[in-house]
Amino acid sequence: MEEKKKVLCITRKYPPQVGGMENFCFNVFSRLAKEERYDTKIVSLGKKQSHLIWFFPYTVFYTIFNAHKYDAFIIGDGLLCFLGVLSKIFAPKTKRITIIYGLDFLYSNPIYQAYLRLWLKKGSDVYVCISHGTMEAFEKWGIKTDTLITPGIDTDKCVSYGSKTADLELTARNKEGFYNKYNVPKDNLVCITVGRLVKRKGVEWFISNVMSRLSDYPITYMVIGGGEERENIEKAVLENKLEDKVKLLGRVSDDDLKECYDNADVFIMPNIHVENDMEGFGIVAVEASLRGLIVLASGIEGITDAIIDNKNGYVMESRNADEYIDKIKDIYKNRSEYDKKRLEFSEYTRNNFSWDAIGEKYKQLIDTVCKK
């Protein structure tokens, strides 16, 4: 019987804390832990980042005294690159794999950038980027890699459009109740954006350049989430007299979020380029596609790996208001045609973005790296 490979995973982002990186590390590392051919150890913070003041020194000492016991060492993100350097010194036979997201190396603080410049290039044998956009930015930053594994989605928690469960839910939808709750005119095309309100998300741009030109069209745009751009977005709504067309819901409960997904028609991801910031992947767009929304997403950065044009949504040219307007009008005029697309797009997403499929890719990577 082949001896189990020993795998060490260290991450500062892990549940019960909530976020994209937390979700990513949990879904990858937990699947490695369940794999019988591996003996997996997960060292995680699972607390607010202020706890790094003790967690980072702890992982330093853990790496020095324990890394040599493992065949593979998966480092949760670029910030922990120093652990990879220590592993090379104290455990030279252990293969190091570092996951790279985008913001973990683009954060512009000069002290942080100096730290990365000193250690990141020396910190790993393999760098795994979560999208082509991240890979391109990483290469411009100074490190070339050819390993790309996208994030996945939890297809069990996120009910797919057209599944038996979804069909029951769809027939039970209380559309009238939804319209009344959010003061949406009956039969309006409902478009939503979900996420943290930062400039790169392009919500203020979309309101000022797209919704302002659809003011006479039966469309309601609902923005779900909070963040630093909220004030600018509110200003754009008022300046364009769109108070009846744009609903800023802020942060909502899980039940309310599910209700919005269940009753919306289109998911809008109108990202724009912002210096020293980027969309590493765009997981919310993938989840929206699985749930049966028609996704319109700007074709920049990591979004191009999340939404494949005419496969699980439509890729739009960033800042091209005419393209967004034409597509939204077409969806409204041809709803029955797009209902067929919803099913096709949801099925494609389920087959290509499940966490089980992503977990298998990491297992293959570990096996390949450990043979070298």
In tens, the pLDDT along 77-127 reads 999 999 999 999 999 999 999 999 987 888 888 999 999 999 999 999 999
- pLDDT value for 2: 72
* Co-location of 326 and 192 in the same domain: yes
Residues 279, 274: Cα–Cα separation, whole Å: 10
* Co-location of 115 and 195 in the same domain: no
Compute the Cα dihedral for 105, 111, 117, 121 and give only its sign: negative
* Co-location of 221 and 348 in the same domain: yes
Q: Confirm if 192 and 221 have CB atoms less than 8 A apart.
A: yes
Q: Confirm if 354 and 27 have CB atoms less than 8 A apart.
A: no
What percent of the chain is modeled with pLDDT above 70? 95
Using CA atoms, how far residue 141 sits from 65, 82, 134, 148, 215, in Å, is 32, 18, 10, 17, 42
Taking all residues of the chain, what is their mean pLDDT, rounded to a whole number?
A: 91
22 in a structural domain: yes
- pLDDT value for 171: 40
- pLDDT value for 372: 76
Q: What phi and psi, each to the nearest 5 degrees, are found at residue 196?
A: -70, 135
Neighbours of 329 (CB within 10 A): 14
What is the domain range of residue 139?
Answer: 5-152+354-371
Q: Please name every residue paired with 147 in a beta bridge, in sequence order, or none if there are none.
A: 128
Name the domain count of the chain.
2
Confidence of residue 158 (pLDDT cuts 50, 70, 90): low
32 in a structural domain: yes
Q: What phi and psi, each to the nearest 5 degrees, are found at residue 55?
A: -70, -40
* Co-location of 188 and 323 in the same domain: yes
The tens digit of pLDDT for each residue in 279-299 reads 878 889 999 999 999 999 999
* Co-location of 301 and 235 in the same domain: yes
- pLDDT value for 161: 58
Confidence of residue 173 (pLDDT cuts 50, 70, 90): low
Q: Confirm if 225 and 194 have CB atoms less than 8 A apart.
A: yes
The tens digit of pLDDT for each residue in 126-135 reads 999 998 888 9
- pLDDT value for 155: 79
* Co-location of 226 and 269 in the same domain: yes
Confidence of residue 165 (pLDDT cuts 50, 70, 90): very low
- pLDDT value for 1: 58
* Co-location of 312 and 240 in the same domain: yes
pLDDT exceeds cutoff 90 at 225: yes
CATH number of the domain within which 204 lies: 3.40.50.2000
**pTM, 2 dp:** 0.78
61 in a structural domain: yes
* Co-location of 305 and 194 in the same domain: yes
* Co-location of 52 and 198 in the same domain: no
End-to-end CA distance of the chain: 21
* Sheet with strand 266-269: strands edge to edge: 246-250, 219-224, 189-194, 266-269, 294-298, 314-316
Higher pLDDT: 36 or 277? It is: 36
